[in-house]
Amino acid sequence: MSIFEDTNPRELKELLADIHGRNMVLPDFQRDFVWDPAATQELIVSIANNFPAGSLLRVRDTRGMYFAPREFQGAPALDGSRHTFLVLDGQQRLTSLYQAFFGVGDHRYYLDLKKLLDGGEFEDAIFHLRTTTKKVKAYDNFETQANEYILPLSELKDGSGGFSTWVRKFGRLYPDKRDQFEDALAEKEIEKRWVQPIDDYKFPVVTLAETTTAEALCTIFETLNRTGVKLTVFELLTARFWPKGVKLRDLWDQAKADYPIIDEFGVDAYYLLQAIALCSRTAPSCTKSDVLALSADDINQWWPQVVKGLAIGLTILRDDCKVMLPKWLPYGPMLITLPAVLAKAETAGTPVAGANREKLKRWFWCAVFGQSYERAANTQATKDFRELLVWFGGGAEPESVSGVRFDPAALRDVTPNQISLYRGTICLILGNGARDFHTQAVITANLMAQEGIDDHHIFPDNFLKKNGVESARSRNCVLNRTLIDAKTNRTISNRAPSDYLKEIKDTPGFPFNEVLDSHHLPAGDDSPFWSDNFEAFLEFRLDRLWREIKRVTGIIEASDLEDEGVDAAPGVSTATDHAP
């Protein structure tokens, strides 16, 4: 007897409704949702373009005979409700789509209709924001959405009817603009080109029968987790260029052998192809269609320079910006911009290269704390590529540099889930010469590996819980975290800072003040550590890190000018005008 019940395609909206209705759930042992919001965005772009996004596997389980169930992250709690299906393969994709279209989770996703009306591509019009940003609260208001032509993707969760409802609400709010807006939408076929494909999208779904044995199910599940390889753009181009004598796979293997740092950072080869697309186009662009349009001549012309540019760029990130390991890179798409700019500029071996290196360092910090790669990363990479080259030539600063804004209060909300800002702040701490609490050596990538150094709490989480700090966000915020070796972290456990730090301080010959200062931590006799004053500690560290952010980005507050006795020009605004 076959274990397959059916292999029919299912509409995305049906699958998401099953998740929301708790009809489709996960085995409790499934790993947690881990996708980066940029990966979610890329998946939505694929769906809007009606590209294949893989198949799903589930088993009918009306009797609850297989595994303990749990709801998808962000979906309503099961609370004893009975389910029909257990999803075995597809959790990450389904969770990311559910959170995006139902407006739950740590990020919200939006569609900039104005960009689509201006002829832009879907991948440039879609963007996401962290739920803690002020803009998310603003976009909860329909009038703000309408004023900026911003459509929350959560409006589309029930199909294209949600889009029509949103358009009608726009017309009621602005009756004088209604006809012009609706005509523009019709002329550009926004609903037909982008909304309807999402509504109609179907995933191939393999459903196993309820007669499948638990033993067979375990074997299938284990096999899925060992395999599961998707065909990438790199593989497609490898096959396309092979008859023309361009062996892309061999070129990539040689690049990693010639420049080990590329392999050490686990760089996605697709970024390299996007960088080549930027360098080889008269009008630079690096969308998927641009990459797929690359010719063998483009590869032959630009591959060596871009590979070298990538190695130099990674060295700048590691040595100057202290991105010691790939896990601390704030934005992967920066690895499109860096090699393309360095390849195109062709200043290696000259003093100009040193001047440009300083500019790239500032660009990195401004892009990180200005969060310029949070939305439309390909568009931002293209924009930065053009503007960095102008800056290298003595022209104006890129907008990502000159227009950077950051609200330091946001550091109170930045947890490991806010990937880019969290990673950027850790790199900032490393840039201060952060030293190991155990060996007191300056932390390097090798030391991280040897001593098991990772990011940990300063005021232990359990200690804060016991002392009434109920906010998990406050306990886990980046202000309360730094790089600590495994042995020291085990010693800390849930002890008060006044206890475990005194033990370190009392160690004869240990340079206590210098080590703490290297992490931007208060070390003097009046340090809030000695009274275990968590709030005073957060204030101290926020001030120290904000000063560092201003130093590396060049942000100038009006108050800074006043402190120096300089009157702020009429156009000078404080750095905190706009929250990230």
Same domain, 245 and 385: yes
pLDDT tens column, 258-305: 999 999 999 999 999 999 999 998 889 998 888 888 999 999 999 999
Same domain, 296 and 364: yes
pLDDT tens column, 99-122: 999 999 999 999 999 999 998 889
DSSP secondary structure letters along 198-236? HHH-EEEEEEE-TTS-HHHHHHHHHHHHH---PPPHHHH
Quote the pLDDT of residue 557: 67
Q: Is 27 domain-assigned?
A: yes
- Statement: residue 76 has pLDDT above 90: yes
Same domain, 75 and 147: no
Q: Which two tokens stand for residue 116?
A: 């689509």
Same domain, 399 and 431: no
Average pLDDT over residues 497-510: 93
Q: Is 163 domain-assigned?
A: yes
Q: Identify the domain boundary among 226, 245, 271.
A: 226
Q: Is 572 domain-assigned?
A: no
Residues 96, 101, 102: CA angle, nearest 5 degrees: 100
The fraction of the chain above a pLDDT of 90, given in percent, is: 66
Q: Is 192 domain-assigned?
A: yes
Q: Is 567 domain-assigned?
A: no
How many domains in the chain? 4
Same domain, 208 and 238: no
Contact call for residues 495 and 463 (beta carbons, < 8 A): yes
- Statement: residue 234 has pLDDT above 90: no
Q: Which residue has the higher pLDDT, 265 or 557?
A: 265
Q: Is 43 domain-assigned?
A: yes
Same domain, 215 and 96: yes
Same domain, 362 and 260: yes
pLDDT tens column, 528-542: 999 999 999 999 999
Q: Identify the domain boundary among 404, 434, 458.
A: 404
Same domain, 96 and 120: no
Owning domain of residue 384: 233-404
How far is the C-alpha of 256 from the C-alpha of 86, rounded, in Å? 41
Contact call for residues 116 and 190 (beta carbons, < 8 A): yes
Q: Is 373 domain-assigned?
A: yes
Looking up tokens 């593989």 gives 235
Q: Which two tokens stand for residue 88?
A: 């075995």
Quote the pLDDT of residue 63: 85
Same domain, 158 and 15: no
Same domain, 489 and 445: yes
Indicate the residue type of 497: P
Q: Is 504 domain-assigned?
A: yes
Q: What number of other Cβ atoms are within 10 A of residue 546's Cβ?
A: 19
Quote the pLDDT of residue 575: 46
Q: Identify the domain boundary among 404, 427, 457.
A: 404
Q: Given the DSSP bridges, would you call strands 481-484 and 454-457 parallel, antiparallel or unpaired?
A: antiparallel
Same domain, 420 and 437: yes
Contact call for residues 427 and 330 (beta carbons, < 8 A): yes
Model-level pTM? 0.67
pLDDT band at 574 (very low <50, low <70, confident <90, very high): very low
pLDDT band at 559 (very low <50, low <70, confident <90, very high): low
What 3 state SS string does 560-575 have? HHHHCCCCCCCCCCCC
pLDDT tens column, 328-346: 999 999 999 999 999 999 7
Same domain, 287 and 365: yes
Q: Residues with Cβ < 8 Å from 408, sequence gap 6 or more? A: 542, 545, 546, 549, 575, 576
